[in-house]
Chains A and B, each alone.
Chain A
Amino acid sequence: MSLYNLLTSPMHSLKYYFVLLLCQLPLLLYAQGGLLDELEEASEGTEAPTESTFKGTRIVNGQSVELWDDGALGFIISHRFGRLNGGAYEFFGLDDSNIRLGLEYGLTDFLNVGIGRNSFQKTYDGYLKLRVLQQQSGTRQIPVSIVAFSSMAINTLRNDEQNPPFSSRIDYTYQLLIARKFSSRLSLQVSPTLVHRNLVELRENPNNLYALGLGGRWKATSRVSLNAEYFLRLNAETEPLYNDAFALGVDIETGGHVFQLHLTNTQSMIEEGFITETTGDFFSGDIHFGFNISRVFQLK
């Protein structure tokens, strides 16, 4: 029995009137509802920027579309331990640890600057993050947030034999971070990436390596989210010893801190390192446990 049948059948005249009455109910309610309805009607379509696409400025290893607000200083302590398949002798990787200390600062709400130092290959890095577009709902909808990211990394590991010129120690990474918060739970990000290496290991390796980053989060509760991230290298045929970086993570937020715990096949915490020089094979157990802890200080 459908509503259409009910309405067209003369046999159910009583029901017919009942349905008619039901149809008018919203009108009756509307006529009664007074001032608030008018206000609600007037406020419909108000534009609102979409915030908190991700909990942190990183999904796991890679950058997210999140920026620090104007005057906020983020201090990020990151660790990547050794491999889980190192076994009990290596205490499942915990004997071996790399640390990156980083500072990020909101020059404005749309421009951040960051510096860091990674013990892995004694690398310094500096970067800028610029928000180009912010996702927005309302009458003028913007479907995605877009952030431009540019970084420079300097490997300062001593190399007395080759003693390469300084410029050959520098690598650059450029990314366009494009993300959409589909719901309060689900956010996805695509990150077209270019890594320019001034010096490559072999003559046939390209100086410009292109990659596509894919990342996302599923917010399980208001304070916990599950993250995943993958960097697909697009022209790395001559670098079979390296793998694509993959990571699974959990973000836990507690007021002023965000704790990110993760499992990944890479040991570097700098774009050039994890995108182009990941050595581990995640699915044969070359998994590094790691974490990022970020703490915010409001400077102005």
Chain B
Amino acid sequence: MLGNHSHAQRYRLASCEVSFYSEAPLENIEAVTVDAQSAFDSSSGEVAFLIPIRGFQFEKALMQEHFNENYLESEKYPNATFEGELEGFQPDISEEQTVTAKGKLTIHGVTREVEVPGTIQPANGNWEMQATFPISVADYKIKIPKVVFYNIAETVDVTVQFTYQPDAQP
């Protein structure tokens, strides 16, 4: 469809883990999902991902319900997405390299330009990408009322781990 890219350089997700962690006085909040989609083009450095909000699993079911129902409003905004490119990425280097993912991050219907430092390394014809970055909940208009029984920190640390394999589709 996008004829100007050679398919040999297109990668799709083999496995992934996206998690976030928030430290709070009463109880720490942690959630993880392995249900994301991502594509990576090693020739242009373009990268995109789409994470269904409902996929995040919490330790407590009620916390998960509040996360979807009250904070992220996942019915209205079902996915978090990123579209951008890896700055400083060199496809020919065979060891770990530090890159900056620069592009548009959309969470809770709010799109912001972000720059996220991370690493990428080749592994048996695949690419492994990691990044950890803080997200301020206020930036994405996620409202946290003052009267909640578990306090929620204003920033949460997001960790993404993507493993890409060559796109086999013709």
Give which listed residue, B50, B61, B149, contacts A40 with CB less than 8 A: B50
Known: A48-B54, A256-B149. A39 touches B60 (CB 8 A): no
Q: Is A256 touching B150 in the complex (CB atoms < 8 A)?
A: yes
* Neighbouring A residues of B69 by C-beta, 8 Å: 51-52, 222
Q: Is A39 touching B62 in the complex (CB atoms < 8 A)?
A: no
Give which listed residue, B60, B68, B79, B149, contacts A257 with CB less than 8 A: B149
Q: How far is the CA of A182 from the CA of B149 in the complex (A)?
A: 29
Nearest neighbor of A183 in chain B, beta-carbon distance: B75
Tally of contact residues, A, Cβ under 8 A: 26
* Neighbouring A residues of B157 by C-beta, 8 Å: none
Give which listed residue, B37, B73, B76, B148, contacts A42 with CB less than 8 A: B37
Give which listed residue, B52, B73, B78, B83, contacts A34 with CB less than 8 A: B83
* Neighbouring B residues of A43 by C-beta, 8 Å: 37, 50, 52, 79
- The answer to whether the Cβ of B138 comes within 8 Å of any Cβ in the partner chain is no
Q: How far is the CA of A237 from the CA of B23 in the complex (A)?
A: 61
Q: Please give the distance in Å from B131's CB to the nearest CB on chain A.
A: 17
Q: How far is the CA of A255 from the CA of B78 in the complex (A)?
A: 22
Give which listed residue, B37, B59, B148, contacts A254 with CB less than 8 A: B148
- The answer to whether the Cβ of B87 comes within 8 Å of any Cβ in the partner chain is no
Q: How far is the CA of A52 from the CA of B70 in the complex (A)?
A: 11
Nearest neighbor of B65 in chain A, beta-carbon distance: A52
Q: Is B145 touching A223 in the complex (CB atoms < 8 A)?
A: yes
Q: Is B149 touching A38 in the complex (CB atoms < 8 A)?
A: no
Q: How far is the CA of A46 from the CA of B78 in the complex (A)?
A: 10
* Neighbouring A residues of B50 by C-beta, 8 Å: 36, 39-40, 43
Nearest neighbor of A74 in chain B, beta-carbon distance: B62
Q: Please give the distance in Å from A138's CB to the nearest CB on chain B.
A: 10
Give B63-96 interface residues, CB cut-off 8 Å to A: 65-66, 68-70, 73, 75-76, 78-79, 81-83
* Neighbouring A residues of B143 by C-beta, 8 Å: 222
- The answer to whether the Cβ of A24 comes within 8 Å of any Cβ in the partner chain is no
Q: How large is the interface on B (under 10, 10 to 19, 20 to 34, 35 or more residues)?
A: 35 or more
* Neighbouring B residues of A298 by C-beta, 8 Å: 59-62
Q: Please give the distance in Å from B106's CB to the nearest CB on chain A.
A: 9
Q: How far is the CA of A195 from the CA of B52 in the complex (A)?
A: 43
* Neighbouring B residues of A48 by C-beta, 8 Å: 52, 54, 78
- The answer to whether the Cβ of B147 comes within 8 Å of any Cβ in the partner chain is yes
- The answer to whether the Cβ of A69 comes within 8 Å of any Cβ in the partner chain is yes
Q: Is A223 touching B39 in the complex (CB atoms < 8 A)?
A: no
Q: Is A35 touching B75 in the complex (CB atoms < 8 A)?
A: no
Q: Please give the distance in Å from B84's CB to the nearest CB on chain A.
A: 9
Question: Which of A36, A52, A184, A223 gathers most chain B CB within 10 Å?
Answer: A36
Q: Please give the distance in Å from B155's CB to the nearest CB on chain A.
A: 20
- The answer to whether the Cβ of B2 comes within 8 Å of any Cβ in the partner chain is yes
* Neighbouring B residues of A179 by C-beta, 8 Å: none
Q: How far is the CA of A36 from the CA of B73 in the complex (A)?
A: 21
Q: How far is the CA of A36 from the CA of B40 in the complex (A)?
A: 10
Q: How far is the CA of A34 from the CA of B2 in the complex (A)?
A: 8
Q: How far is the CA of A51 from the CA of B75 in the complex (A)?
A: 9
Contact with A along B140-166 (1 / 0, CB 8 A): 000101011110000000000000000
* Neighbouring A residues of B21 by C-beta, 8 Å: none
Q: How far is the CA of A203 from the CA of B43 in the complex (A)?
A: 86
- The answer to whether the Cβ of A72 comes within 8 Å of any Cβ in the partner chain is yes
- The answer to whether the Cβ of B115 comes within 8 Å of any Cβ in the partner chain is no
Nearest neighbor of B145 in chain A, beta-carbon distance: A223
* Neighbouring B residues of A254 by C-beta, 8 Å: 147-149
- The answer to whether the Cβ of B46 comes within 8 Å of any Cβ in the partner chain is yes
- The answer to whether the Cβ of A154 comes within 8 Å of any Cβ in the partner chain is no
Residues of B whose CB lies within 8 Å of any CB of A are 1-2, 37-41, 46-50, 52, 54, 59-62, 65-66, 68-70, 73, 75-76, 78-79, 81-83, 143, 145, 147-150
Give me the 10 closest cross-chain CB pairs, A-B, nearest first: A255-B149, A35-B48, A69-B61, A36-B48, A36-B83, A35-B39, A39-B50, A222-B70, A255-B148, A52-B69
**15 A–B contacts, CB within 8 A, in A order:** A34-B2, A34-B46, A34-B48, A35-B48, A38-B48, A39-B37, A39-B39, A39-B48, A39-B50, A43-B50, A51-B68, A51-B69, A222-B69, A255-B148, A255-B150
